[in-house]
Amino acid sequence: MSRSVLGAAALFGAVLAGHPAFADGDSAAGQALFHQKCGLCHAAVEGQNKVGPSLWGVVGRKAGTLASYTYSDAMKNANRTWDAATLDDYLTAPRQKIPGVKMVFAGLPQAPDRANVIAYLSTLK
């Protein structure tokens, strides 16, 4: 493998590792935080909606598409898929990221908290 390819791979890996959405979150810590901050409005089990939609299988799902939940027009029209980077961005300040959503949660300002919650959400399959 050429030096330039190895250098590019190392640089790409460093960029991803430095981004909180791609850092290895702690799913156990994320589960505890989820239940503390998110569990009042969201279930972590398939088919159980609360005030907000079930977050079972949310990673990889297109926003506003869970058939059993009635989303705001803002969420239905958000045109995003929930991957680690999108969740990381959204969870910093949901109402600012998608104005008009129903969610009243202020967000998770700390990158490690978001990484942990995203790691936990990634296990819900």
Which CATH topology does 3-121 take?
A: Cytochrome Bc1 Complex; Chain D, domain 2 (1.10.760)
Torsions phi, psi of 88, nearest 5? -60, -45
Instruction: Judge whether 64 and 41 are in contact, CB under 8 Å.
Output: no
* Distance from C-alpha of 4 to C-alpha of 15, rounded to nearest angstrom: 16
Residue listed under structure tokens 């398939």: 46
- Comparing 20 with 114, which gets the higher pLDDT? 114
How would residue 11 be classed by pLDDT, with cut points 50, 70 and 90?
Answer: very low
CA dihedral sign of residues 119, 33, 87, 24: negative
User: Does the pLDDT at position 1 exceed 70?
Assistant: no
**Helix (H/G/I), strand (E/B), else coil: 16:** helix
User: Does the pLDDT at position 25 exceed 50?
Assistant: yes
Percent of residues, the chain, with pLDDT higher than 90: 81
What pLDDT sits at residue 24?
80
Domain assignments of the chain as residue spans, ordered by start:
3-121
- Of 15-19, 68-72, 120-124, the one with minimum mean pLDDT is 15-19
Distance separating the N- and C-terminal Cα atoms of the chain: 37
